[in-house]
């Protein structure tokens, strides 16, 4: 509790300081790369970051670290008109989904299937609850938050297949859930962006209804880890290259899985016929380059793509809506999703 209060106070104080003071606190000069300048508040937050190195922890301990951290960095909980949970049948059991309805909606509305981040290893629908409440409110959509089973207890392809099953369940139950199936988005951040891309590929390849839009927020799309930004931003910006490999090692069964399109959607044989995409990248993120490459692949295949570059931010800004830069990035993303679902 003491650490939580200290982090909350630190973010509150830093958010009130002018940029010049933040830069002075965090080393005295701005962080600049190829014309991109790191947001001073994020620079200061990285400077004061004392989060344990998750790659040195067992998964259960890493999950507890994330649960404590997001309680401080996310925006306050927004009220919903209705919240209920259901069980979705999947191979070998069932998974939990949480269905949220923001205030002011009619009997039917557009919807979002949300897939949380966390490297396919950490995170759940409780950790992401305040985030999805924010998204539901800003987009004006009913939202289904999916608790897919995570690695290493459930390795690839289980998390991917869980998300595919959850999306199909939402399609099958759209009327009962108050959703318009023709205006359904699949959306997620980081590993959730990976899974949203995978769901879109599966919808095309397995012959069920495509999402109206796929929103991929700083997605991981190539588990081979070949991009330049993995090295350039691999330390000092929150998400590190060793942590990315820790996630991958827990997720995959063998190295051959890294080249499977259900794990690395960038490597799909074709990207033609996929739903329109919103792809966001952060300028100081190890995953920056593969996000840009995926957007380019989609565009080359004739898929309508909106690439949003948050050049001054780091990875994980979705979980930082307690800060003005995090809120602004989330608001911009939600506005794009809302527009895509209203057209």
Catalytic residues: 190, 285, 315
Q: Report the relative pairing of strands 305-314 and 213-217 from DSSP bridges.
A: unpaired
Cis peptide before 223 (omega within 30 of 0): no
Count of CA atoms in the C-beta half-sphere (13 A) of 166: 33
Query: SS3 string of the chain?
Result: CHHHHHHHHHHHHHHCCCHHHHHHHCCCCCCEECCEECCHHHHHHHHCCCCCCHHHCCHHHHHHHHHHHHHHHCCCCCCCCEEEEEEEEECCEEEEEEEEECCCCCCCEEEEEEECCCCCCCCCCCCCHHHHHHHHHHHCCEEEEEECCCCCCCCCCHHHHHHHHHHHHHHHCHHHHCEEEEEEEEEEECHHHHHHHHHHHHHHHHCCCCCCEEEEECCCCCCCCCCHHHHHCCCCCCCCHHHHHHHHHHHCCCHHHHHCCCCCHHHCCCCCCCCCEEEEEEEECCCHHHHHHHHHHHHHCCCCEEEEEEEEEECCHHHCCCCHHHHHHHHHHHHHHHHHHHC
Give the dihedral of Cα atoms 146, 259, 210, 88; nearest 10 deg.
Answer: -30
Dihedral sign for Cα 292, 119, 316, 198, please. positive
Closest CA to 209 of 274, 306, 115: 274
């Amino acid at each position: 509790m003491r650490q939580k209060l200290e982090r909350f106070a630190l973010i509150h104080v830093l958010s009130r300081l002018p940029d010049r003071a933040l830069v002075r606190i965090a080393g005295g000069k701005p962080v600049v790369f190829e014309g991109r300048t790191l947001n001073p508040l994020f620079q200061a937050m990285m400077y004061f970051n004392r989060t344990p190195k998750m790659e040195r922890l067992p998964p259960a301990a890493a999950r507890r670290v994330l649960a404590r951290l997001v309680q401080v960095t996310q925006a306050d909980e927004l009220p919903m008109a209705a919240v209920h949970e259901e069980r979705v049948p999947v191979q070998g059991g069932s998974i939990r989904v949480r269905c949220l309805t923001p205030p002011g909606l009619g009997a039917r509305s557009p919807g979002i299937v949300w897939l949380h981040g966390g490297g396919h290893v950490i995170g759940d629908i409780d950790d992401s609850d305040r985030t999805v409440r924010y998204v539901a409110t800003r987009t004006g959509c009913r939202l289904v938050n999916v608790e897919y089973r995570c690695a290493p207890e459930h390795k690839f392809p289980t998390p991917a297949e869980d998300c595919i099953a959850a999306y199909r369940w939402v399609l099958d139950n759209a009327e009962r859930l108050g959703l318009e199936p023709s205006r359904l988005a699949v959306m997620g951040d980081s590993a959730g962006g990976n899974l949203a891309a995978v769901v879109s590929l599966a919808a095309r390849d397995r012959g069920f209804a495509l999402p109206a839009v796929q929103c991929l927020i700083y997605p991981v799309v190539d588990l081979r880890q070949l991009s330049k930004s993995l090295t350039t931003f691999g330390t000092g910006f929150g998400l590190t290259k060793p942590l990315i490999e820790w996630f991958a090692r827990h997720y995959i069964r063998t190295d051959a899985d890294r080249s499977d399109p259900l794990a690395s959607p960038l490597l799909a044989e074709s990207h033609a016929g996929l739903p329109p995409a919103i792809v966001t990248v952060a300028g100081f993120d190890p995953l920056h380059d593969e996000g840009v490459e995926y957007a380019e692949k989609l565009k080359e295949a004739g898929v309508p793509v909106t690439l949003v570059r948050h050049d001054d931010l780091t990875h994980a800004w979705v979980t930082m809506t307690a800060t003005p830069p995090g809120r602004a990035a989330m608001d911009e993303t939600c506005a794009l999703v809302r527009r895509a679902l209203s057209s």
